[in-house]
């Protein structure tokens, strides 16, 4: 039996998915049920599902049967072909093993003070009067945190230059146009389009740098500059030694595979950019959504303040106190239930398989859809209501709630993100009282593959402490 297909032209489906992703998913589920197939030009068919058994199969299936590389191929031009996001099978298992130690829960204490410091410095600069958008300031904070804890940069000119380059690079890389292009062009062509301008083009006997003339090449040029910075930085660290350094990149430079081999500089570059791309926007967006909900629910804010006071008194939160903020943890979980930054995670079948009740062909992408699953009324009563209490003292099953994906590919940075978000949230709560700047409706804008609050959550600082 084959699952129902959305009977719209492929181009129109692509437009709906890019421009109105949530409405498109919701309407399709209403019409076709728990599973339905979306199809864009030049991509594999995408079977979206909120069926728990199918999600279980997707997360627990054999890595050689279920690949993610084809789903993430669009990212290759930015993150590079060695990125964990693109690897599959044994290669993925081996690379992930090398990358896991810096992201173990117990490592988080080492990053805590730096995370709090990044938040605190940003808050110092927030306007005393007038509105500003939380999404923008959280992006600043989370980028600062990544640059310091992952890349190991300290304040100074290099950090500033890196920051500027990354912001421009990520803004360009997440433009909707890239999404359209990725579904319209075969992966190979897309990669070539995005890569044009990285190297001079041979015009007869002359090599010409044509990058200034092509829109995509601005992105390539930025990336080239980022790469130059990164390779120079790694060269310096190879020469000076990294044993005493605590940052993630330095730990990755010391990692060895089972044959005792280190990662090459190109691998390190690709993984560093991967961590930046995967770990910056996601946390900034979730923090923005969390404040959006909390500012609409004064009773939740009051409880959060009471908990923080009980755990940390009036002083700053110490890294080892973070795990005691249970209500804050529940608030962030509830935020990710309602707005999982990535609304679905996919695996491409490498052979024909029976998934749930469907016989599916090789090449189909099965998308475990967190957005729809997190709204199933049988699992989540009154699903649209923001209610952190749902998570107090409860642990939902891994196939009912999966904002960080699941199985062997579950988000590598989950502990890092959860820790960072609690530290930043607590510091904001301790230092300022915010109020929404304008009446603000629940609306979602797309930024690349993530969903962000439209307008960026404009707020005003009501008071400081
Ligand atoms: C609220 C914050 C975040 C959310 C919601 C999130 C969500 C996700 C999701 C849904 C996936 C795909 C999982 C799957 O396919 O099953 C993923 C993968 C990944 N994330 Fe995150 N993420 C967050 C923060 C971070 C951070 C802070 C980092 C690192 C600093 C990070 C690094 C990664 C990496 C490396 C992968 C690829 C894992 C693999 O393929 O093995 N993420 N994340």
Ligand 1 centre and the CA of 414: distance in Å?
7
Ligand 1 centre and the CA of 433: distance in Å?
30
At 296 the pLDDT is 92
Secondary structure (3-state) at 342: coil
User: Cα–Cα distance between 38 and 47 in angstroms, integer?
Assistant: 6
Task: Please report the atom of ligand 1 found closest to the CA of residue 346.
Answer: 15
At 197 the pLDDT is 47
User: Cα–Cα distance between 351 and 369 in angstroms, integer?
Assistant: 21
User: Cα–Cα distance between 462 and 435 in angstroms, integer?
Assistant: 6
Query: Torsion angle, CA of 211/212/218/222, rounded to 10 degrees?
Result: 80
Could you tell me which of 345, 323, 322, 334 has the C-alpha nearest to residue 396? Answer: 334
Could you tell me which of 12, 87, 6 has the C-alpha nearest to residue 45? Answer: 6
At 460 the pLDDT is 94
User: Cα–Cα distance between 44 and 176 in angstroms, integer?
Assistant: 19
337 within domain boundaries: yes
User: Cα–Cα distance between 105 and 160 in angstroms, integer?
Assistant: 29
Do strands 353-355 and 132-133 pair parallel, antiparallel, or not at all (unpaired)?
unpaired
Evaluate whether 457 touches 439 at the Cβ level (below 8 Å).
no
At 190 the pLDDT is 61
5 within domain boundaries: no
2 within domain boundaries: no
Q: Is the CB of 413 under 6 A from ligand 1?
A: yes
List of residues 6+ apart from 186 with CB closer than 8 A: 42
288 within domain boundaries: yes
At 170 the pLDDT is 72
List of residues 6+ apart from 341 with CB closer than 8 A: 281, 282, 285, 286, 403, 450, 451
Q: Helices 187-195 & 176-184, crossing angle to 10 degrees?
A: 140
DSSP structure string for 145-187:
HIIIIIS---TTHHHHHHHHHHHHHHHHHT-HHHHHHHHHS-H
Evaluate whether 377 touches 334 at the Cβ level (below 8 Å).
no
Could you tell me which of 424, 128, 428, 436 has the C-alpha nearest to residue 298? Answer: 436
Q: Is the CB of 368 under 6 A from ligand 1?
A: no
User: Cα–Cα distance between 214 and 216 in angstroms, integer?
Assistant: 6
175 within domain boundaries: yes
DSSP bridge partners of 100:
none
Number of domains in the chain: 1
Q: Is the CB of 275 under 6 A from ligand 1?
A: yes
What's 86's DSSP letter? Answer: T
What is the residue-level pLDDT of the chain in tens, covering all 465 positions? 889 999 999 999 999 998 889 999 999 999 999 999 999 987 889 999 999 999 999 999 999 999 997 788 777 878 889 999 999 999 999 999 999 999 998 889 989 999 999 999 999 999 988 999 999 999 999 999 999 999 998 888 778 888 888 877 777 666 555 556 555 666 566 666 555 544 455 555 555 554 444 556 677 778 888 899 899 999 999 999 999 898 999 999 999 999 999 999 999 999 999 999 899 889 999 999 999 999 999 999 999 999 999 999 999 999 999 999 999 999 999 999 999 998 999 999 999 999 999 999 999 999 999 999 999 999 999 999 999 999 999 999 999 999 999 999 999 999 999 999 999 999 999 999 999 997 666 677 777 667 788 888 999 999 888
Could you tell me which of 261, 251, 256, 236 has the C-alpha nearest to residue 416? Answer: 251
Could you tell me which of 374, 382, 452 has the C-alpha nearest to residue 21? Answer: 452
Evaluate whether 376 touches 383 at the Cβ level (below 8 Å).
yes
Instruction: Choose the residue to mutate in 152, 283, 404, 452 for probing ligand 1, maximizing ligand atoms within 8 Å of C-beta.
Output: 404
At 177 the pLDDT is 59
For ligand 1, atom 12, name the residue with the nearest CA: 405
Q: Is the CB of 282 under 6 A from ligand 1?
A: yes
Q: Domain holding 419: CATH number?
A: 1.10.630.10
User: Cα–Cα distance between 218 and 270 in angstroms, integer?
Assistant: 19
Q: Is the CB of 406 under 6 A from ligand 1?
A: yes
- Domain of 51, in residue numbers: 10-464
At 208 the pLDDT is 55
174 within domain boundaries: yes
Evaluate whether 83 touches 76 at the Cβ level (below 8 Å).
yes
441 within domain boundaries: yes
Output the CA–CA distances (angstroms, integers) from residue 452 to 127, 131, 256, in the order listed.
23, 19, 37
User: Cα–Cα distance between 269 and 230 in angstroms, integer?
Assistant: 7
Q: Exposed, middle or buried by CB within 10 Å (0-12, 13-18, 19+), for 399?
A: buried
Evaluate whether 168 touches 225 at the Cβ level (below 8 Å).
no
User: Cα–Cα distance between 121 and 117 in angstroms, integer?
Assistant: 6
4 within domain boundaries: no
DSSP bridge partners of 316:
none
Could you tell me which of 313, 298, 335 has the C-alpha nearest to residue 418? Answer: 335
Q: Is the CB of 152 under 6 A from ligand 1?
A: no
Ligand 1 centre and the CA of 128: distance in Å?
35
């Amino acid at each position: 039996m084959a699952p129902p297909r959305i009977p719209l032209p492929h181009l129109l489906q692509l437009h709906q998915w890019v421009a109105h992703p949530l409405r498109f998913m919701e309407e399709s589920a209403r019409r076709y049920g728990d599973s339905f197939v979306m199809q864009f030009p030049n991509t594999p068919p995408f079977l979206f599902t909120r069926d728990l058994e199918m999600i279980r199969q997707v997360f627990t299936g054999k890595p050689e049967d279920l690949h993610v590389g084809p789903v993430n191929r669009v990212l290759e031009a930015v993150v590079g072909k060695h990125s964990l996001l693109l690897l599959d099978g044994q290669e993925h298992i081996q690379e992930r093993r090398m990358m896991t130690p810096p992201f173990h829960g117990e490592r988080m204490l080492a990053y805590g003070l730096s995370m709090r410091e990044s938040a605190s410095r940003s808050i110092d600069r927030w306007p005393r009067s007038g509105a500003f958008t939380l999404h923008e300031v959280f992006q600043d904070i989370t980028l600062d945190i990544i640059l310091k804890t992952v890349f190991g940069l300290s304040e100074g000119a290099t950090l500033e230059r890196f920051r500027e380059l990354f912001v421009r690079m990520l803004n360009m890389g997440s433009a909707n146009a890239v999404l359209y292009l990725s579904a319209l062009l075969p992966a190979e062509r897309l990669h070539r389009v995005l890569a044009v301008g990285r190297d001079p083009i041979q015009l007869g006997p002359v090599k010409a740098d044509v990058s200034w003339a092509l829109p995509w090449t601005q992105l390539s040029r930025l990336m080239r500059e980022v790469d130059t910075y990164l390779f120079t930085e790694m060269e310096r660290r190879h020469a000076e030694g990294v044993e005493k350094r605590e940052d993630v990149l330095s730990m990755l430079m010391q990692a060895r595979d089972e044959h005792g081999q280190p990662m090459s500089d190109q691998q390190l570059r690709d993984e560093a950019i991967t961590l930046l791309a995967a770990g910056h926007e996601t946390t900034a967006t979730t923090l923005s959504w969390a404040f959006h909900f909390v500012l609409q629910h004064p009773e939740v804010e009051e409880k959060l303040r009471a908990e923080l006071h009980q755990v940390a008194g009036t002083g700053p939160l110490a890294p080892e106190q973070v795990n005691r903020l249970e209500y804050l943890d529940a608030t962030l979980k509830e935020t990710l239930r309602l707005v999982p930054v990535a609304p679905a995670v996919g695996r491409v079948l490498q052979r024909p398989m029976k998934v749930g009740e469907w016989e599916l062909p090789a090449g189909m992408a099965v998308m475990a859809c967190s957005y729809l699953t997190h709204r199933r009324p049988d699992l989540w009563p009154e699903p649209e209501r923001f209610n952190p209490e749902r998570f107090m003292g409860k642990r939902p099953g891994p196939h009912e709630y999966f904002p960080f994906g699941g199985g062997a590919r579950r988000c590598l940075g989950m502990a890092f993100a959860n820790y960072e978000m609690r530290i930043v949230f607590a510091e904001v709560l301790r230092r300022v009282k915010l109020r929404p700047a304008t009446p603000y409706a629940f609306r979602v804008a797309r930024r690349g593959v993530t969903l962000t609050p439209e307008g960026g959550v404009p707020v005003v600082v009501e008071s400081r402490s």
